Structure 1
Amino acid sequence: MHLTAIVAHPDDADIFCGGTLAKHADRGDDVTIIYMTRGEYGGFDTTEAQLAATREDEAEAAAETLGAETVFLDFEDGRITYSMENRLQLVDVLREYRPSIVLTHFRDDMHPDHRTTSRLVSDAYYMCSLPLLETESKPWEPQNVYYFGKPTSSFTPETYIDISDYQSTKEEAIIKHESQVEWLKEHGGIDAEFDGLIEDVRAEARVLGRTRGVEFAEGFVPLHKTATEFLGSV
């Protein structure tokens, strides 16, 4: 199986689905994280270029902790737009990397980059198997798309993954994003649910786990109401 997370910013995969990614990597699956942007707006007292370089390095270290490969696209932080050109770029990304399962943002989210990424990935998934649509890579059809979301949105999980054995790995990966741990601590009002990033992520995983009788879990909403052998309900 090839599991691919397509996320707007360098820390999104670790925060929202890091345990699931680590669990699949540990069983030998190919795991790839595709970053739409380098998160160059999310920081203090630096230039966009300097912050982008820092966040890319942090993302590489975090992905290595999870056992994932990384790919960086060249969208601009805070400025991802929905267009046919961008949709076709995502079509070609899916065709090039040929994932079995795609993880991405839920459609309802405060961050505009998250919302737009969700829409682009969903529509690219719909189009990437069309044989008459020509791009640089050959048509490909992933099995399913699973969405992750913030507890402050209308997101209500339907599929739960037991990450009890991988919560510590997830937290270790998040800590690699040193610039963001500090940024979110100071950025209160907008991302208030992550003021204390590690503690809040752990608490959310514990709450989700209790609903399924496990210590820690991550939750997803599938595009198609099916379950695969491993990314399925507990």
Structure 2
Amino acid sequence: MTDQPAMLVVSAHAADFVWRASGAIASFVRQGGRAHVVCLTYGEKGESQGLWKQPGMTLETVKERRHEEATAAAAVLGAEIEFLDLGDYPIRATDGLYDTLVATMRRVRPDVILTHPAHDPYNLDHALVHEVVLRARMIAQAAGHDPGTRPIGAPQVFQFEPHQPEQCGFKPDLLLDVTEVFPLKRKAMEAMEGAQGHLVAYYDALGERRGVQARRNGGAGTITHAEAYQRVFPTVAGSLR
């Protein structure tokens, strides 16, 4: 056992955690925490456009390339990573998936969980993963489930920003300053260029826009980049300050 803070990131596809949460991951690790990323799929069918444009590409080759890219990105951030290779478009919520995630939660014992928002009409895989994570968290808390392992507590679940937040009902209640680690985020994003290189500039610019909003909402004037998150559960505090 260790007192080292732990973060669990559940990513539907192999690149989702990079675009949406790599600043939070790098910052958490830099502050002495341990980050564990679970990629349910490689995103080999629906989120590997750049690779499928290359001649002679096969499904297994796409998976291999995505594995290499995401592994390299996680290494940049200082995160552990594992791949479940469930197959995307669609992802299916099986008993095996729940068993795996519950076991992972009890092993990692996260203080915080990051995953997709509850709604995403453009990518129902993302919305499904949100529900799966909350159900797995619920099961992992239950004393009667697998009594040989210890239930987890009540880690906050943060929804990271979807690609088109206005269409997803995403209303951030946390703007996380990632200024110091944004060079690491950019390097991690660049590791994904083979499959989705067109997104690097998009999320680079989004980080700047969220940084402006962070300053306007009372953040330090030195903030240049931020990431947006929405909590699932209430935050407990001893005062309103």
**Unaligned stretches of 5+ residues in structure 1:** 186-196, 229-234
Paired residues in the alignment total: 215
Q: For 1:94-133, list aligned pairs within 5 A.
A: 94-109=105-120, 110-133=122-145
Match of 2:226 in 1: 217
Contact kept? 1:92, 1:136, Cα under 8 Å: no
Contact kept? 1:91, 1:124, Cα under 8 Å: yes
Match of 1:189 in 2: none
Contact kept? 2:207, 2:227, Cα under 8 Å: yes
Q: For 1:150-189, list aligned pairs within 5 A.
A: 150-152=162-164, 153-182=168-197, 185=198
Contact kept? 1:98, 1:142, Cα under 8 Å: no
TM-score with structure 2 setting the length: 0.83
Q: Distance in 1 between matches of 2:213 and 2:84?
A: 36
Q: For 1:190-205, list aligned pairs within 5 A.
A: 197-205=199-207
Q: Distance in 1 between matches of 2:81 and 2:68?
A: 11
Q: Does 1:53 align with 2:78?
A: no
| Greater radius of gyration (CA) | 2
Q: Does 1:87 align with 2:95?
A: no
Q: Distance in 2 between matches of 1:142 and 1:31?
A: 17
Task: Note closer, same or farther for the CA distance 1:199–1:136 as it changes in structure 2 (3 Å cut).
Answer: farther
Identity of matched residues, % = 25
Contact kept? 1:9, 1:36, Cα under 8 Å: yes
Measured after TM superposition, the shift of residue 121 of structure 1 is 0.2
Letter in 2 for 1:78: Y
TM-score with structure 1 setting the length: 0.85
Q: Deviations over 1:137-185 (max 9, x none)?
A: 4322242111112251321211111001111210100111132234xx4
Contact kept? 1:2, 1:31, Cα under 8 Å: yes
Q: Does 1:72 align with 2:87?
A: no
CA RMSD of aligned residues (A): 1.9
**Unaligned stretches of 5+ residues in structure 2:** 216-222
Q: Distance in 2 between matches of 1:83 and 1:73?
A: 12
Q: Distance in 2 between matches of 1:198 and 1:73?
A: 25
Q: Distance in 2 between matches of 1:58 and 1:86?
A: 23
